[in-house]
Amino acid sequence: MDRVAVLAGLGAGLPSTPVTNSEIAVRLGIEPDWIETRTGIRRRYVVAPGESTGDLAVSAGRRALASAGTDTVDAVVLATSTPDRLCPATAPRVADILGLGTVAAFDVAAVCSGFIYALATGSGLIAMGAADTVLVIGADTFSTIVDPADRATSAIFGDGAGAAVLRAGAAGERGAVLALDLGSDGSRGDLIEVRGGGSRQRSTGLPAKEEDQFLVMQGQAVFAQAVQRMSASAAQAAARCGWSLDDVDWFVLHQANARIITAVARQLRLPQERFLSNIDRVGNTAAASIPLALADGVLTGRLRPGQRVVLTSFGGGLTWGSFALSWPRLTVGAPQSGAGPAGTSVDHPGSIE
């Protein structure tokens, strides 16, 4: 029997501070309805001063371990493009705080596709026998890189973390990873970028320009790419499982913008009711968006054992990817308080209503 990765646990972590559209609208001098009409977002959460991506990752990771009924794993793979520090990676500190000892721990950078890339990495470690269990986390704090005056980004992004535990199992089991599709297009890397802070700027010896410290996104081109790439990738992953699009119970897309999800549904000629979404309540949480949507799907009773699920992401790079699995029997635990070392994170699934 082939050894494959099986989804065994899920957890979510959100900062404790919600930010409503009215608060953002006042800051940007726009009508509150502007945000919801264009993005489908009503609320997002942002970190407190001094709180980090790693703190949210710890919160989500702890819950995922509890969901899987374990307190040990063989590796931690953390997807983020807003790490606690430029160097080193955030994952080793997260593993340490979670009491996981000296296990392998590293970051994966694929922007909003990071969680799918990290799942692929974790599944690979399991398939080759290098690990029996892997904690995979997607965590980002885009509130730290968006320009507060840029309505195209500051109204959309929120902070958060989501995590999954993968364990070794067999292909016939519920929760088994059945297919994967990954891709990138570096020729369009300028569509979503933070220009400053990296080696390209630092090697000049000059400080980063003010505007280069923020995320810039070319909205319409990103919309077109996201719709095309996610439609094609989701279809590819389903096909690799031998599923028709109609066989799939749930498509869980990166929660970038409700309009993108609608457009992908139209491209695939599928009813929008088959696309799981929680973007109205958390915004675009970058690498955390898919696991947060999954946790929400379990808590709201929409994701049920045996269902056929396709996860699909798109992000800067450009990067995209899909992951197909049968949904396992698992529970996402009741809220617990204050996980992060900064003491400001609250574990939140109970409030993802």
Partner 1 sequence: MNAIDQRLAEILTDQLKVDRAAIDTDVTLDSLDIDSLVVVELALILEKEFAVPIPDGELTKEMTVGDVAHLIEDKSGGPGATV
Name the site residues for partner 1 (rule: CB under 8 A): 38, 220-221, 223-224, 227-228, 259, 263, 266-267
Which C-beta is closer to partner 1: that of 113 or that of 225?
Answer: 225
Which C-beta is closer to partner 1: that of 2 or that of 273?
Answer: 273
Structure tokens that stand for 119 in this block = 């799942």
Q: Is 257 among the catalytic positions?
A: no
Shortest distance in whole angstroms from residue 222 CB to partner 1:
10
Nearest Cα residue to 12 out of 113, 115, 150, 145? 115
**Could you give phi then psi for residue 12, rounded to 5 degrees?**
-130, 145
* Given the residues 21, 112, 278, 348, the one annotated as active site: 112
Which C-beta is closer to partner 1: that of 104 or that of 224?
Answer: 224
Which C-beta is closer to partner 1: that of 38 or that of 195?
Answer: 38
User: Do 226 and 188 meet the contact criterion of CB atoms below 8 Å apart?
Assistant: no
Could you identify the residue written with the tokens 């799907």?
A: 297
Shortest distance in whole angstroms from residue 192 CB to partner 1:
15
194: helix, strand or coil: strand
DSSP strand E in the chain: where? 3-15, 17-20, 43-46, 75-79, 104-108, 133-141, 159-170, 177-184, 192-194, 215-217, 250-253, 308-315, 319-326, 345-346
Q: What is the CA radius of gyration of the chain?
A: 19
Strand order in the sheet with 345-346: 104-108, 75-79, 133-141, 159-170, 3-15, 345-346
Max Cα separation, the chain?
60
Shortest distance in whole angstroms from residue 269 CB to partner 1:
8
* Given the residues 21, 278, 284, 348, the one annotated as active site: 284
Q: CA 165, CA 9: separation in Å to the nearest integer?
A: 5
Q: CA 270, CA 279: separation in Å to the nearest integer?
A: 19
Which C-beta is closer to partner 1: that of 27 or that of 38?
Answer: 38
Shortest distance in whole angstroms from residue 231 CB to partner 1:
9
**Could you give phi then psi for residue 246, rounded to 5 degrees?**
-70, -20
Shortest distance in whole angstroms from residue 266 CB to partner 1:
5
DSSP state at residue 346: E
Shortest distance in whole angstroms from residue 321 CB to partner 1:
20
* Given the residues 21, 254, 257, 278, the one annotated as active site: 254
Q: Is 284 among the catalytic positions?
A: yes
Which C-beta is closer to partner 1: that of 272 or that of 331?
Answer: 272
Q: Provide the annotated active-site residues.
A: 112, 254, 284
